[in-house]
Structure 1
């Protein structure tokens, strides 16, 4: 498993704190571009959201935010008001391509994928076609035909449902392997219990996995997948709604309304630690016996027990 390290991205006086795998910024001899934040259409909501292309556009990553009220960062000698913690995870580019392929499928004709994946509002969408294995995976959601060395595609709902069902099955296996509680009794904000429930049924895993996958597809595809999985309707939506559908405030996609481009470029790479000044070195060598740490001034006072 790739280790994850905390990095800070700086641009003038604004910074984000990001957790990302080293593979996001590791470049090979064939890579010709740095990691870059882009604005793409969220496949489930159509809202502009923030994503990241790794070096050479070989992979696309989802950007989510751990965000809670009244959080800030101490960075160097400054306080960063944006206390969000952004974390970057790999994403299957086919989720982002599917809305374009599905829309073009209404025309009922085979078309080159370069002609299908075009969007004036989100021009970066064409970069999805450069991701590894993208071209090979298109046939999982579309009919493919090659004429004169050129491949043409047309959306297939049957193939798409099979692909989404496979995603659900893979998610179920991962949930079981990770011992994540998925029963209807899970009501905490983390949706994870320290002890697995003994009465969890296969339906609970399917419902939970369906909820997770539905966050990456349109509502109509989510409903169609629900029927394919033959899941019974929920009698009490508020009580039995899959945990994944109760989206946590601390685990939300980052909307791309802000100036995300200021964090692109070389600033994304790991920076060496700054050298200490003479004053800082002198302070580091000073005897700190009896001194209190800064956190001690913010900790609640412990009341002494009266005899």
Structure 2
């Protein structure tokens, strides 16, 4: 802990299962830990070859996604509650570390309604505000995809079999659909479906009845490669913009 780095197990806001995260307690700052694994991979260490060449890398993560998970869960009670009573988890007690992150109240305004009683803040999940915030996240991700010249049409279309005339160059809808898929990795499925409707995404085109023996080559929507993710995180991370120090907190979140 001398370095201020701490690996903790917290809830995955999409699946509800446990996942490893990294806290920088000095800043403080939250990172998610990703594992890049190839079937045949090893490391050269000195003059020996070590098998099992997993690559772990940490990328800055917007903590609001994790807070959102608990806010949605607490909303079942239908009342305003103090944040320390919302962010509680017997399975993942380290979730309390989220309450130590900076500018927390400003972040919560994007996804909650709040009241103040006797100088104490109470919060309640707002689906309307959350969808607006997620729409901005999608637009932010679309901009990053375009900036990094990442082709998305093949990835969107590879989820089904398409005839030749259906496979086309990148369209705005493809960017939005792919960005929606990325954001959906950090929110519950019910909210992901609601976001899809909010974005007015049409249903995917019907698949060809008799697909060829070899499926259309491309990366599945859920099988994004680490270079793509690294490029996107470098563009879309709220924490990256936080260090600039020249913008207002509300601007940093959506830069």
* TM-score where L is the length of structure 2: 0.74
Radius of gyration: which is bigger? 1
The answer to whether the Cα contact below 8 Å between 1:68 and 1:249 also exists between their aligned partners in 2 is no
CA distance in 2, matches of 1:161, 1:35: 33
Q: Deviations over 1:16-61 (max 9, x none)?
A: xxxxxxxxx9xxxxxx871011001111111211110013361110
The answer to whether the Cα contact below 8 Å between 2:156 and 2:178 also exists between their aligned partners in 1 is no
Please list every run of 5 or more consecutive structure 1 residues that lacks an aligned counterpart in the other structure: 1-24, 26-31, 189-196, 252-307
Q: Deviations over 1:69-121 (max 9, x none)?
A: 13222334665443101111000001111111111111111110011001011
Q: Secondary structure at the match of 2:129?
A: helix
CA distance in 1, matches of 2:198, 2:85: 31
CA distance in 1, matches of 2:219, 2:37: 18
Q: Which residue pairs with 2:253 in the alignment? A: none
Tell me: CA distance 1:214–1:58, structure 2 relative to 1, closer, same or farther (3 Å): same
1:247 counterpart (220, 223, 238)? 223
CA distance in 2, matches of 1:167, 1:222: 13
RMSD: 3.0
CA distance in 2, matches of 1:59, 1:137: 14
Displacement of 1:144 after TM fit? 1.0
Q: Secondary structure at the match of 1:158?
A: helix
Tell me: CA distance 1:135–1:243, structure 2 relative to 1, closer, same or farther (3 Å): farther
Q: Which residue pairs with 1:223 in the alignment? A: 193
Displacement of 1:235 after TM fit? 2.8
Equivalent residues, number: 213
Q: Deviations over 1:165-202 (max 9, x none)?
A: 110011111111221111147779xxxxxxxx984221
Q: Which residue pairs with 2:25 in the alignment? A: 55
* TM-score where L is the length of structure 1: 0.63
Higher helix fraction (1 or 2): 2
Displacement of 1:136 after TM fit? 1.4
Instruction: Tell me, yes or no, if structure 1 residue 90 matches structure 2 residue 66.
Output: no
Q: Deviations over 1:224-260 (max 9, x none)?
A: 00000101101346989x9563325879xxxxxxxxx
CA distance in 1, matches of 2:94, 2:155: 42
